[in-house]
Copies of this chain bind each other. A is one copy, B any other.
Amino acid sequence: MKNEVGITVTKEENMPEWYGQVVVKSELADYSAVKGCAVIRPLGYALWENIQNYFNKRLKKMGVKNAYFPMFIPESFFAKEAGHIEGFAPEVAWIEQKSKDEERVAVRPTSETIMYDSYSKWIRSYRDLPLLINQWCNIVRWEVKDVKLFLRSREFLWQEGHCVFATEEECDKHVLEIIEEYRKVGEDLLAIPTFVGLKSKKETFPGAKYSYTIEQFMPDGKALQSGTSHNLGQGFAKAFDITFIGKDEKSHYPWQSSWGFSTRLLGGLIMMHGDDKGLVLPPRVAPTKVIIVPITNKKTPELNETVLATAKRLQNELNDSDIETHLDDRDNYSPGFKFNEWEMKGMPLRIELGPRDLQTNTCVAVQRNTGKKQIVAIAKIVAQVPVILDTIQQEMFDAAKQKTDAMFFTATDYNSMVKEIQNKKFALACHCGNAECEEKIKSETGGITTRCQTKEEVKKGDVCIKCGQPAAYKIIFARNY
């Protein structure tokens, strides 16, 4: 039984295999017959919707509005910003031309160009700024051949914000506000320690002045870039002829930002929190917070009815208090089967209710994250459950933080740094900031990259861990997804 429906490897011994099994067996997502593509199943999509709901509320407070732009981008648009086309050309999917009279179009790998063409029509005066727009959509990057569910696929879902400001200062400020919101999505909602920092020059978004990133550090020793916020400077404004008349009645180029995160966030969520029984979901993002499993017994049918009626009442009370609760009253599965299934799907809290519990007017609440059981008075359930859920959320973040922190070390010697990183560690080290030096590290180590700069200042005399030139910053080195 276990070998069929449970996970057949441990997270420790083979994390890639474990990951694939968890995603498929918990019914988060599935492979598809279309090369490079995946299906997001209802449980996975509900997580994405919860991230959307959380983030949409934050965007509303910031005055950012959602919109939708065409998924097709004319060939000529890509060429308008030189750095941009260089970065994206190799991975673009093109539509077969039906008529040579129409320009060749690609499926969007990102939407800067198509959006900014509209912006150039809409923006006339300083009164039209800031223009703060976000879109939720699908994106295509064709180079992917082998799907890693949520982590790499030809098509994926994301949000992309594209904002326009009158001044550099406003743009800088917004880029930082967004990356801070991303950190909150990572830490407050998903309970994952989330590092914020600047990308190196080499890892900066094609066409951007600078890029901030949120990086999350997985138990298998690989970093996950989970969201980025770019200051695009005025390059796109010049390329797409976006100008505005300022209060000084003169024409100016505005400053622009773009920022995005994707369904990849779900990959981090699974890897960080999952265990050998399956998924473990932080309560804030879980679509169902509580699963009630009635413990019925064929020998006492009259008691079963009372158990089911009480379970139903508990479910209604919890749902009425906005705590999403599911009662698993299927009569063709055993309680043990149900326990396994909901553990696999990672629901944060299970409430067990049987005939004996009725005698004491209590039930048993079992935390998914730790397995901790506690007896709760039925009369106090609506007051107690939110407390337990908050505890779970905090415990999950703390556990993840402890795990992650233990994997960091400060490196001073290049060869031992490489060895430690191959051994699933994350290194803090000084680097010269030179793109060729960075590329050399990446190629000779088979994929060690810089993730994000730390705020720690480099001291005089600090030198690059690789080339010995003066250090530009202290940065995190890691393998990555």
Contacts and interface: CB of A to CB of B under 8 A. Distances in A.
B107 A95 contact: yes
A477 B41 CA distance: 41
B46 A65 contact: yes
A248 to B, nearest CB: 15
B42 A74 contact: no
A197 B332 CA distance: 40
Number of identical monomers bound together in the oligomeric complex: 2
B30 A121 contact: yes
A114 interface: yes
A419 interface: no
A459 interface: no
A45 interface: yes
B32 A69 contact: yes
A118 B30 contact: yes
Interface string A55-75: 000000000011111111110
Contacts of A187: none
A94 B95 CA distance: 6
A142 B109 CA distance: 20
A337 to B, nearest CB: 12
Contact of A49 (B39, B66, B155): B66
A249 interface: no
A418 interface: no
A33 B117 contact: yes
Given A33-B74, A48-B68, 8 more contacts: A32-B117, A40-B67, A42-B65, A42-B67, A45-B67, A46-B66, A95-B107, A138-B138
Closest CB pairs A-B (n = 9): A37-B70, A42-B65, A40-B68, A94-B96, A34-B70, A34-B72, A45-B67, A42-B67, A32-B70
